[in-house]
Amino acid sequence: MYRGEIATLKGRAPEDPVVTARVERTDPDGVDYGRVMQITFVVTIAVGAPLVALLSIPYDLATWGERAGFAVRVGAVVWIVTALGVFWVERKRALADADESET
């Protein structure tokens, strides 16, 4: 039942902002680790899941435990390779940006 009231936290006046201002941009010096984590997550899901499925074809994984164990082992390798690759690309980009700003 919304009647136009403002949702507030207990003990706060309605005119006080409940949510802090949103940060729109960052300008990190060097490697942007947040970007590395986000790209690693997306690429690992998008590439890793089909890769694990393809690599599991020749194996006889009869139980859910065997399937989960296989997915964890292969997924860990996919994740670390992806994370190191993304970090390397971002580091190259950061070094290029630093060189560009010096000239």
List the pLDDT tens digit at each of the 103 positions of the chain: 445 555 555 655 555 556 667 766 666 677 888 899 999 999 999 999 999 999 999 999 999 999 999 999 999 999 999 999 999 999 999 888 887 777 6
Can you give the pLDDT at residue 9?
Answer: 58
| pLDDT on residue 102 | 73
Chain center to CA of 74: 19
Please report the pLDDT score of residue 32 as a whole number.
87
Give the span between the Cα atoms of 73 and 43, in whole angstroms. Answer: 17
Instruction: Note the pLDDT of residue 80.
Output: 96
Q: What is the pLDDT of residue 1?
A: 47
Structure-token pair, residue 59: 């194996």
Contact 48, 85 (CB under 8 A): no
To the nearest 10°, report the CA torsion of 99, 101, 102, 103: 90
Q: Which two tokens stand for residue 80?
A: 């670390």
Q: The whole model's pTM is what?
A: 0.66
